[in-house]
A and B are shown apart, each in its own frame.
Chain A
């Protein structure tokens, strides 16, 4: 019987064919923790599980990215708890400034095709960009993996997305990700895995953008076939392939030839319209960054729009690279210098302003256009602030005019 990627990967883990709905206990290849939740995970491992040592330090990766560098004494002390734990247990830790966990694990090839990668972060669906089963979990689940090596999973049904055609100029992977929210809604793939087909030509960065936002559909995982750039850069196990006999719970087709730049309106990720419907809305802050759109290609897309143009009077633009490597790429050509010449503020690689904790928290009534993945009320700061989500190209065009702008009309 045919198998989806989720069934292939989980089946490989348990050594037999699995079917949607059954519970399996697996040993994840990677269990990632970041600075925001690792102090609580460590406490559960040590105090509740009574485990002096983790099950397998090689299974664990720690990344300091959420409030990095520390903004308060409390955060600094918590990060030191994580550093001490990593040193004592022999766990690999990526320091402040290295980048966002989901970007770093792909760059370092810690996450690879066919793996099960769980993380203490909902955007762990990102690892589906490299053909891994990536899924977010809470502190207790991750603590159990660290202490026992294992976790339980319900084998998900799979929703297949079939893309047809190609993006037109000015339209990007982010618009596709937002369009999926518009079509499927914020709960449209709850408990399911999503597979993305018809995108073998799409580069890795675009796949990361789309897979990161699988969770915004409620999905447990969002998995790309390990083809194209991924097949060229990663080893792909021979048992992981597009099975024509695989059975999908639902198939949704998206025609890229007709796709317009998309914008998610406050305060819901699935409250999405074509950019034309919201063009002209005044914006105070533009934020370019996050695991969804903080990579070199995103900064490059913004630089192409901003080249030779200053930011609109009274508007701030924050640029937070997804990783140090991505920042270095932007320095190696004229991307970063172009952005800086326009007047952007560059911050440390990491999660930045996405959760409203530092490096650009929004004040009362402020309007932000973000390249991130969530626009829930109060997420980036004061509950009266508003967040619009869009692509880097829309973000840069908006930064030039001060109002939401279609980059094709600039």
Chain B
């Protein structure tokens, strides 16, 4: 059963993937997904499973524009990231890659680290052993891009950008 990984506020992209583990720096055969939170949360790097959900404090993903930070989480098949707010470039990158994000001020106070959980992305629901939480929807354009599986697919399928 997937679980929740809780983080504090202002998680920066150097914590998600330190620059020293950029794909640019890796050897043939190494995958950036192995280095997600390698130093900030080594148990995540070892144990995170597909479908697991990150619940974090405000301003998740601040700092560098490195897309390999959200990409490492995507390759890890993280089910969703829930935080009161996201740093701007991370927000764009995650949506562009089709990673479900939810902006919720309440969830960090309502769920615990390690709690078993399932996320229903289509209906915006987080389901724990005891409770089903309704998550606030993303803006339409962001939801559309995530539904398409990322911005590249969106642009190729629609022949235009969101808002165009």
Contacts and interface: CB of A to CB of B under 8 A. Distances in A.
A23 B20 contact: no
B87 A136 contact: no
B88 A357 contact: no
B52 to A, nearest CB: 22
Contacts of B22: 36, 357
A150 B161 contact: yes
A148 B65 contact: no
A378 interface: yes
Interface stretch (A184-192, A335-343, A394-402): A184-192
B157 interface: no
A120 interface: yes
Contacts of A220: 88
A379 B161 contact: no
Contacts of A148: 155, 161
A25 B141 CA distance: 13
Interface string B83-120: 00101110011001100000000000000000000000
Contacts of B18: 356, 378-379, 383
B15 A138 contact: no
Interface residues of A, number: 54
Given A48-B152, A49-B156, A141 B96 contact: yes
Given A218-B62, A383-B18, 15 more contacts: A22-B163, A36-B22, A37-B66, A39-B23, A39-B24, A40-B24, A44-B152, A136-B89, A138-B65, A140-B96, A186-B59, A377-B39, A378-B39, A379-B19, A381-B20
A191 B59 CA distance: 11
Interface string A201-220: 00000000000000100111
Contacts of A191: 88
Interface of chain A, helix or strand or loop or mixed? loop
B47 interface: no
Contacts of A141: 92-93, 96, 151
B20 A357 contact: yes
A152 B96 contact: no
Interface in B31-81: 39-40, 58-59, 62-68, 70
A254 interface: no
A268 B163 CA distance: 35
A81 to B, nearest CB: 10
A371 to B, nearest CB: 18
Contact of A137 (B89, B141, B150): B89
Nearest to B97: A140
A186 B66 contact: no
B89 A186 contact: no
Contacts of A357: 19-20, 22, 25
- Scoring A24, A136, A377, A378 by chain B CB atoms within 10 A of each residue's CB, the highest score goes to A378
A25 B88 contact: no
Contact of A152 (B10, B68, B161): B161
Interface stretch (A71-79, A165-173, A304-312, A322-330): A71-79
Contact of B10 (A36, A44, A75, A187): A187
A347 interface: no
B161 A74 contact: no
A361 B20 CA distance: 10
Contacts of A187: 10, 58-59, 62, 85, 87
A137 B24 contact: no
Interface string A247-283: 0000000000000000000001000000000000000
Given A39-B24, A75-B25, A186-B62, A140 B68 contact: no
